[in-house]
Each structure stands twice: as C-alpha cells, then as structure tokens.
A and B are shown apart, each in its own frame.
Chain A
Amino acid sequence: MTRAPSRLAPLLFLNVFLIATCGLVYELLAGTLASYVLGDSVTQFSLVIGLYLSAMGVGAWLSRFLDSQLALRFLDVELAVALVGGLSAPALFIAFGRLDSFEVVLYGVVVAIGVLVGLELPLLMRLLVDEIEFKDLVSRVLTFDYIGALVASLLFPLLFVPRLGLVRTSLVMGMVNAGVALAGSFLLAPWLGRRGPGVRIRAGLVLALLLVALVKADRLSRLAEEELYADEIVYTETTPYQRIVVTGGHKGGFQLFLNGNLQFSSADEYRYHEALVHPAMMAAGGAPRRVLILGGGDGLALREVLAYPSVERVTLVDLDPAMTRLASDLPSLRSLNRGSMRDPRVRVVNQDALVWLGDAVGEWDVVVIDFPDPNTFALGKLYTTRFYRLVRRALAPGGAVVVQATSPLFARRSFWCIVATLRAAGLHVVPYHTTVPSFGVWGYALARATPFDPPAHAPKGLRLRYLDDSALAVLFDFPADMAPVDVEINQLDNQMLVRYYEGEWRRWEE
C-alpha cells in the first residue's frame, strides 16, 4: 500500500475540523428550521440532536462494511454530505410550503446527514492509521472534531444566521464540504491513483450546483427582504395578487405578512379574532346558522365561527387561492386555525369580494369582513358605500356584520370614515376596539340593518382565551384620543379612505 507523505497529515486534520464544523451546522440548521416552522423549540431541538447523533452512530457502524477503496469512499461520502447537507435548508423550506408530511422529510434529511457524517471519521482514521501512531491519531482527530463543533456552535448564531440566513448558510457549508472533497482528492492522490480525476469532476459538479443554488437564492431577493422582517422567513410566495410571507423565529411563534403588512402573529391573534367574530355572532342572536366571511383567507376568523355548534354553512370569499391553500396546508397555520379550512361546513370561493357580492344570492346571519387595511385602491373599493350596500342586501333579517376597521388610534380618520360609510349605506353601527400587542389598539365596526344595542354577553361554553362578559363590556367606550372626527364617506369614485389611510400611517412612520 502506498503511503501518504506524513507532511500532509496536518492538512488532513484541517479536513477533520471542517467536516466537524459543517456537520454540526447542518444539525443546528435542521433544529432551528424545525423550531421556526413547527414551533416548540425544546422538542424540535431534542429530536433533531438525538436523531442526528444516533444516525452518526449508525454511520460509524456501517463503516465496517466498507473494505476497499477507502480514500475513494471517503471522498464520495464527503461529496454526498456536501449535496444533502448543502441543499437541506432550501429543500426543507420548499417542502414546508408544499408537503403535508413535512416532518417525515425533515427527520429523513437529519438522519441522512447524520449517517453520512458518521461514516466520515472512521474512514479517515482507517486511512491514516498506517501513517500515524494510533494514540496520536485518536487524540488529534477527536481534538479537531470537537474544536470544529465549538467553532460551529459559535459561528452559527453569531455570524451565519444573522449574516447569511438559513438557506445561504446551508449552501455555503455544502460548498465547504465539496471543497474539502476536492482538496482531499489531491491530498489522497496516492491512494486514489487513476480514480483521482473522476472525484475531482464530481466535486466540481457539486460545487457548481451549489453555486447556482446560491445565486438563485440571492435572486429571490431574500437578502433585501429578510432585512425587512425581524424573524426568519420560513415561507414566501408571490401570487398575481400579493406577496405572502410567513416568518417564524426566536420567540417560537410565527407571523403572516401580505405585501409586507403584518396580518397576524400567532402569539396574540386570538385577541384580534375573538374580538372580531364573537360580538357579531352575539349581535345576530348568538346561534347563527349561515355565516359569510369576506377576506380572512388565513382561516383564523373561520376557526372562531366554527366553534358555534349552530353554524351549518360558512362561505369564505378570499381573492387569492394561494392564501386559502396555505391556510389549509401549511402545518403551522393549519394547527393554528384548527384545520378550519377543511371543515365540511365550509365553502371557499376565490374571487374578488366586490365582484362576488354583486352576483351573490342567499342570506347570511353573520357577515365577517376581514380585509387587509385599505392601503390600495383595490382594497379601498371593499370599504365603500357600494360594497356595504351589497353586504346589507346579503344580510338575513336580524343579521349582523362586522368590519375590521384599522386602528382608531393610529388611523383615526380612517376608522371613523369606515363607520360613517357603513352608516351612509343604511346600516346602524356600533364601533368598538380592543388591544392586540402586535398591532396596538385595533378597531372594528359592528352593524345591523336595524337599530340595536351592543351585545352584553360573550358566548358561553366556547372556552375563549380573552373575550368574556367583562372584557366585552369595555370594548365599546372610546376615550378622547380616539373619539369620532368629521370625515367624508368612502365611495368608489372618491376613495377617500385610501387617502386618509395613506396620510395617517405615513405620519406614524416618520
């Protein structure tokens, strides 16, 4: 057997160090990603670390079955780590958005990387065993292995995640692995013989593939976008209607943004949605049968509606099929809305609500209007007298409608403009507000076709987290800094609301 010149040994120990670093980074990536998108970070990290370590054990055990061409095997395993580990984060993000069985993919990837990394050290040690005395070999390999782990655990939170983000960290680590394989093909050339060039070509291909993925990742404008959000982006999609971004992160919860505007945070959305839905359900008599939800494609208002056993039929009209699909399929969102989008009582319609209402037949006991804030003309039209007249027409006798009406504190004129517009459409309106930490003070308008008193009782037996009789009682008082102001009504041909809204939020942003 040919021997590697011993002066190359230090370089081989550098390989050990890099392999260890990359291996731990993949493990941390998987753990982080799992806790971002699935929540419950303690469980996720425990599971990922446990699986990863045991998979490494499996890899070490398997190494005994490899007897010939050890150098070649070592380098091919290294390239496999580069490929699987390097693509792990982008692949998991893609799988997360599109697959029901995300957990299977996640743990599969963790096990695969673990097995491959577990193969590496035994193979390398067997290569070097004739070169270096055994006690030195063990001591130095393990030393570099543990130093690598330390470096990885420091770099990952301090440098990689803040600077590169998960996807690019994963791709860059893959390239490091491929680079180790490429360098190894030169260091181990005496063992490889004429197989050397083949290894180099494979390493070159893996490097090129990862580089392309890296460039693509940049082109997805993640770099710019990630800086917008406090937390890691776990899902993005650009639809013909909007840009959907789901972020998850350090605090364990997750958030939905549409066109960069926060729609909810899983930490406190219950306050928003309980306050949105239940007063209207109570104002309609407390046992509504037919409910219409306009907007609300996240399925969270729907979750509150479906809690009423009296509800027989819900139609949810949301423009964007990608949004309603996400609410139905994304595991984290599906668990937050308790699978509401798949309830047999629900019919989902993907159409512009104004167009749909114009042709709609049928009567509704409760109409819940949960559109994004009116910051474009396309949204502003859904807050006009025309729209509210169509809503009034769709109300059953005694029916109630509720409108999310932006913040009466930050956008006071906008809020009262929505109230005035509902009144101009012939509805009797009771405005109210609550506090949602993610949003601040938030406002709603409750309305019926005939005069009514605001509901005095929260629903019984629904086990709400926030809304009870005493919480309900204080919703309807408006202190001086949110008191009514003189506003014009919002009509299709003046779109006053969009102008108010633009002016008001700009003031707060400055």
Chain B
Amino acid sequence: MSAAAPPPSRRDALRALLGAPAVAAAMSAGGCGARGRPPLPDGALVGGAERLGHRVRDQGAPPVPPADRWSRVGVVIAGGGVAGLAAAWRLARAGMRDFAVLELDAAAGGTAQSGRSPVTAYPWGAHYIVAPLAHERALIALLREMGAIEGEDRDGHPVVAEELRCREPEERIYQHGRWYEGLYLTAGETAEDRAERAAFQREIDRWVGWRDGRGRRAFALPVSAGSDDAEVTALDRMTMAEWMDRRGLRSARLRWLIDYACRDDYGMRPAETSAWAGLLYFASRVRAPGADSQSVVTWPEGNGRLVAQLARAAEGRVRLGVAVCDVVPRGAGAVGAGGAAGARGAGGAGGADVVAIDGSGQPFGVHADQVIFAAPQMIARRVVRPLRDREPSHSSEFEYGAWMVANLHLEGRLREPDGGYPLAWDNVFYRSPSLGYVVATHQSGSDHGDTVLTYYYPLADQAPAAARRHLLGASRDDWAEVILTDLGRAHRDVRERVRRLDVMRWGHAMVRPRPGFAWGGARQAAARPIGSIHFAHSDLSGVALFEEALDQGVRAAEEVLAARGIASESLR
C-alpha cells in the first residue's frame, strides 16, 4: 500500500460506510499504483441548523421575553419547510395574509433546500415529484401557478410541461464495469428472475386497480386520498421483506430493487419498512393497471423550485434563523407580561402565544390567533407546551432517519466506461449503500461541460440515534473519501474532476414508516389540533414526500381558514 491510500481514520470511515469489499476494490484500483492520488477537493460541511435546534432542546425552562418584545399576528407558522410554506401559500390563496413564518434554518425549504453555482442550481435534498393525477388538486394548483401544466389528457389528468418531465435517459444502474438502462438490472436476468419480476408486477397492478367501497385507490398521493380499508391497512402490520417472503419473491435483483426503493423514499431497509409504505412507492405512481409510471417531474434545483413558488406567497413574512422554543395555548397559562393582555382570537379558541429566540439570542414573543406548527413531532414534543408537560404515548412512535447529501462541482464531465448506457439523470450503483447521484444540468438540456452531481446516502443500517452519531461523527474529508471511492468505481477520473465537494448532514431527514406507524393511530392522533394549535408536517402522513408535506400544510391552513370563518373551496 502506498502513501496514496487514504489515512487510517478515513479507511475506517470507508469500511463503515461503504463496506469492506468496496474498500478493498478502491485500494486495489487506486491505492497501490505508483501515481499518488490527488488531494481531496475543497469543500465544507454545510447547514448546521441543528446547533441552534439542539440549544433549544438542551435549554432548561424556555425564556420569557420582556414586555416590549411582544407583537401580534393572526397566524404564526412555526417551521418554514415545505409544510409550513404550503400552509402560508394556502392562506395567501384565500386572501389571508396576516401570518408570519418562523424558520430555524438560514434558508427556507427544509430538506427541499437548494443551492446555486455559476454553472447551475442544484438540490440539497428532495429533488423530484411524481406527475400528479387529477385528484391532487393542491399540487395541480401549485403547478398551474408556475405555468407547469400544458393541458389535460383524455382521462382528465393534467399534462405536465415537457421540459419539466424528466428527460430520457432517466435512470441507469452500474454493475461490474458497465452501466445499464433502468433501475432494475435486466442484464444477466434468469428465467426465475423474470418470472418473479412479472409476479411482483402483477401484485402491483392488482393494487393499482384496487378501489374501496368509496371508490378510493389503495395507494395514492397524498396518502390522505388513499383508502383506509382494512385490506390495505393490514399491509402495515408486516415489513416489506416479510411481504416478499410470503410471496416467495427471492430473486436477488428484484429484492435489490425493493431495497433501493425503500432506501430511496424512506431511508430504510425492507426488513424495517412497512409493506404498506413499500408498496406505496410502486403503486401510487401508476394510474391504471399496466400503465407506465407517472412521469418524474424535476428541476435543476430539485424541489427547490417548488419551494421558491410556495415562498413567493409568503414573501416578506418569513423570518429565518429563529428558534421557536415555546408554544402555549392561551388560557393554558399565560406567558410573560404580554400574555395577560392578549387580544381575543378570531378563531374563538383563545389563541396561542409563541416564544422564539432570534439570531442574536434574544427572546421575543408573538400573540397569535392560531399557530400552525409545521415542524416534526420530535420538535413538537419539546416546544408545544401541552405536549411537553404531558408527553402523549404516540410521540415516541415518530422516528427519523439520518441522511448525508453531497454536491460535487465538476469541471467537465466524468469519464464513462466504454460502451455502456449513457449518463442519465439518476445514476445508481448496484449494491452500493448509497443511492447514487443525480445530474443537476440534466433537465436544462445540457449534455456537456461543467456540472454538479448530487450524491445521496441514507444511513439505513443502524438505529436512528446511532446513525445520527455516525453521520455527525464523520468529517467532511471522511465523507469525501466515501463518495469519491463509491463514484470511482464507475468513473476513474472522479478525483481529478471534482473541484468542490460540500456535504450536508440531515440528522432527522425523514420520518421512518416502520410497520404499525402509518395505520397504528400515532400520526392520526398527532395531527389533531390542540386548541388553536394546528399541526402540519409530512411526518403526519407517515412518509416524507413533497406531496405529503404540501397536503399537510394545506390541511392545517384549511383548518385555520375554517376557524377564522374564511370561506374558500378546499384544495384537498
């Protein structure tokens, strides 16, 4: 082994995060040559809102703002992720603009944040939606605002503008020195593999065609549009792996596809994922049995474009870098001096007081008629006073997975192995613990020149707390080594091409739909308002998708509109 090999700590990180075989392969490919490997590219750990968040978590009693630091607003939206912005958007659509969005992070959008370089915009997390079906009224309304709907097809479903539908080649998969079309590895498929794939497809088709007594689909996006029939919810009592076992589906490549799907949407392995969630991934995005999947809809900055559209409705009403640390229903015990003088709420339920810390560490208070609490439940239980005072049993049901997302700024394009399928939007490595990378410039139509790759890695193999420790314990250089080693399998020149490599660590990236979570009652209970406090977050749907965050935000906003007596046709 030469001096070119990564230092020991990074080797450990490699072994832990990519697995021993990958490390061995990387060492033999690049480590023992006479040529030293180039130094790691520049880059940094980005984000870091967790520091402020953890300060709130670790504080004792919440601060009490002085009397002159109180104001009043009709609706406080705590959380400027997709759910919070969606709530703001929905209120604004109804002409209700007396609201304020308080966001912990330095940027709005939550895990759908995005960045921009001189070359292109690029995502920091969520990066696509599925083209909506006719029942997804809120999403269609949003896309219409953006000019993203071209018309309707014969069945009345919207047609998303061609330039937003993911351009072919959409996906490819790498194995043993070659790229292949699609996510399922057809090369070398045996007759049994093919038969099992067909059997799986028949199961999916059956669920695609299934309707309950009220005509609802078994699996729909948002989840609230789907069925809660016992036949469907029964699937939530087993894992995806068990569901596969019961059907005798053992094909390694089929099981890998399922594994990929579970990690891609939920950051979990099939042995932990609810079969209901696992099937949702496949069945919700097909309109009718035998039809192709709905198009993937994406932008260079991923769902950052949707965030920007939602945020437009909240322009001037979003405060960033603000940590909400106490939410108190009025009448449940006044906060500070201003509390007693609180104005009467238009909602009639007494209103609520919100205490937050601004960027300079100073507390301030807001009297609100209603609060839309649009942050995950792990924060709600520490911040919303009734939940903090007496933690309900459902709180502990909410678990969140850890993710690492990196953006690699390239000079030119990576060298491709000879003869394989060309560079696609989504590029996946068979049997890698990563999810591969997407190409930011793909959708802008550019096939040459500098670009940005976004690399996704869910920490799916450990319990959430341990995974988070692992995530935060690895340095930027550790992660860079992992990423470059993983990519280096297919692209030998990756280390020479990457000019910058930034790493985002999402400690609580996605709610984890384990068996029993989606239909065990926890999320339904957590979604119920407490007085004037309404809840909106994708975790209340059980799965962390843009469509769910939008739906939850719209639902909470419509609850508030109803409480305020503002008539507006529902978007749900």
Q: Which residues of A contact B (CB under 8 A)?
A: 240-241, 319, 352, 354-355, 358, 376-378, 380-381, 384-386, 389, 491-495, 498
Residues 465-512 of B contacting A (Cβ, < 8 Å)? none
Alpha-carbon gap, A493 to B171, bound state (A):
11
Instruction: Provide the residues of chain B in CB contact with A384, threshold 8 Å.
Output: 162
Instruction: Provide the residues of chain A in CB contact with B163, threshold 8 Å.
Output: 358, 386, 492
Interface contact A492-B167, CB-CB below 8 Å: yes
Interface contact A352-B166, CB-CB below 8 Å: no
Q: Chain A CB within 10 Å — which of B165, B167, B412, B422 has the most?
A: B167
B interface residues, tally (CB under 8 Å): 18
The answer to whether A355 and B162 touch (CB under 8 A), given A493-B168, A493-B295, is: no
Interface contact A319-B167, CB-CB below 8 Å: no
Interface: B447 (CB within 8 A): yes
In this complex, what residue of A is CB-closest to B170?
A: A493
Interface contact B448-A492, CB-CB below 8 Å: no
Of the candidates A352, A386, A491, A498, the one whose C-beta lies within 8 Å of that of B448 is A352
Interface contact B422-A378, CB-CB below 8 Å: yes
Instruction: Provide the residues of chain B in CB contact with A385, threshold 8 Å.
Output: 162
Instruction: Provide the residues of chain A in CB contact with B39, threshold 8 Å.
Output: none
Residues 424-449 of B contacting A (Cβ, < 8 Å)? 444-449
Of the candidates A240, A386, A491, A492, the one whose C-beta lies within 8 Å of that of B412 is A240
Alpha-carbon gap, A241 to B412, bound state (A):
11
Alpha-carbon gap, A444 to B315, bound state (A):
50
In this complex, what residue of B is CB-closest to A379?
A: B447
Instruction: Provide the residues of chain A in CB contact with B412, threshold 8 Å.
Output: 240
Alpha-carbon gap, A386 to B167, bound state (A):
11
Alpha-carbon gap, A376 to B167, bound state (A):
13
Interface contact A386-B168, CB-CB below 8 Å: no
What are 18 A-B contacts with C-beta separation under 8 Å?
A241-B448, A352-B446, A355-B444, A355-B446, A358-B444, A376-B422, A380-B168, A384-B162, A385-B162, A386-B162, A386-B163, A389-B162, A491-B165, A492-B167, A493-B167, A494-B168, A495-B168, A498-B168
Interface: B169 (CB within 8 A): yes
Instruction: Provide the residues of chain B in CB contact with A378, threshold 8 Å.
Output: 422, 447-448
Instruction: Provide the residues of chain A in CB contact with B447, threshold 8 Å.
Output: 352, 377-378, 381
In this complex, what residue of A is CB-closest to B167?
A: A492
Interface contact B169-A492, CB-CB below 8 Å: no
Instruction: Provide the residues of chain A in CB contact with B167, threshold 8 Å.
Output: 377, 381, 492-493, 495
Q: Chain A CB within 10 Å — which of B163, B170, B412, B444 has the most?
A: B163
8 shortest A-B CB distances, which residue pairs? A495-B168, A354-B445, A378-B447, A493-B165, A492-B167, A386-B162, A355-B445, A377-B169
Instruction: Provide the residues of chain A in CB contact with B448, threshold 8 Å.
Output: 240-241, 319, 352, 378
Alpha-carbon gap, A47 to B170, bound state (A):
58
Instruction: Provide the residues of chain B in CB contact with A377, threshold 8 Å.
Output: 167-169, 422, 447
Alpha-carbon gap, A68 to B412, bound state (A):
60
In this complex, what residue of A is CB-closest to B441?
A: A355
Instruction: Provide the residues of chain A in CB contact with B169, threshold 8 Å.
Output: 377, 495
Instruction: Provide the residues of chain B in CB contact with A493, threshold 8 Å.
Output: 162, 165-168, 170, 295
Alpha-carbon gap, A384 to B166, bound state (A):
13
Instruction: Provide the residues of chain A in CB contact with B170, threshold 8 Å.
Output: 493
Instruction: Provide the residues of chain A in CB contact with B413, threshold 8 Å.
Output: 240
- Smallest CB–CB gap between A503 and chain B, Å? 15
Alpha-carbon gap, A319 to B446, bound state (A):
10
Alpha-carbon gap, A494 to B446, bound state (A):
17
In this complex, what residue of A is CB-closest to B445?
A: A354
In this complex, what residue of A is CB-closest to B422?
A: A377
Cβ contacts B149-165/A at 8 Å (1 or 0 each)? 00000000000001101
In this complex, what residue of A is CB-closest to B163?
A: A386
The answer to whether A492 and B444 touch (CB under 8 A), given A240-B412, A377-B168, A381-B167, is: no
In this complex, what residue of A is CB-closest to B168?
A: A495
- Smallest CB–CB gap between A318 and chain B, Å? 12
- Smallest CB–CB gap between A224 and chain B, Å? 13
Alpha-carbon gap, A279 to B422, bound state (A):
36
Interface contact B449-A240, CB-CB below 8 Å: yes
Alpha-carbon gap, A443 to B166, bound state (A):
30
- Smallest CB–CB gap between A374 and chain B, Å? 12
- Smallest CB–CB gap between A295 and chain B, Å? 14
- Smallest CB–CB gap between A440 and chain B, Å? 27
Alpha-carbon gap, A352 to B444, bound state (A):
10
- Smallest CB–CB gap between B239 and chain A, Å? 33
Alpha-carbon gap, A241 to B165, bound state (A):
25
In this complex, what residue of A is CB-closest to B162?
A: A386
Instruction: Provide the residues of chain A in CB contact with B165, threshold 8 Å.
Output: 491-493
- Smallest CB–CB gap between A403 and chain B, Å? 18
